[in-house]
Amino acid sequence: MEVTETWYLVLSAVLFSIGLIGLLVRRNPLVMFMCVELMLNAVNISFVAFSGAFNDIAGQSAVFFVLVVAAAEVVVGLSLVVMLMRYRASATIDDLSVLKG
């Protein structure tokens, strides 16, 4: 049994769906950030699959930029979550109004 690009695209769609459902259902900011990261990695898998299918390096270079943006998002997002958790032990995404200053 050969693994083709279709398998990678199905895996990407499943991971993206899990991330989207988790983002819409959960209210914990940390879980929401993990779901966004899961969605970004699903897009990266599809970029690499298309890059291999078309014999082009553009998809792999796009993955590099997506990973850079994801790293910056994690730095900013985790700092906001840590600041929020200092004020409230069980924080939800609705509690971000506490950080207005």
CATH number, domain at 42? 1.10.287.3510
Domain residues for the domain of 84 are: 5-100
For the segment 9-38, the average pLDDT, to the nearest whole number, is 93
Question: pTM for the complete prediction?
Answer: 0.84
Count of the separate structural domains present in the chain: 1
Cα separations in angstroms, 67 against 23, 62, 72, 91: 19, 9, 9, 27
Residue 100 to residues 8, 65, 80, 95: CA-CA distances in angstroms?
42, 31, 11, 10
Query: Over pLDDT 90: what percentage of the chain?
Result: 58
Residue range 26-39: mean pLDDT, rounded: 89
Per residue in 52-72, pLDDT (tens digit) is 999 999 999 999 999 998 899
- pLDDT value of position 99: 67
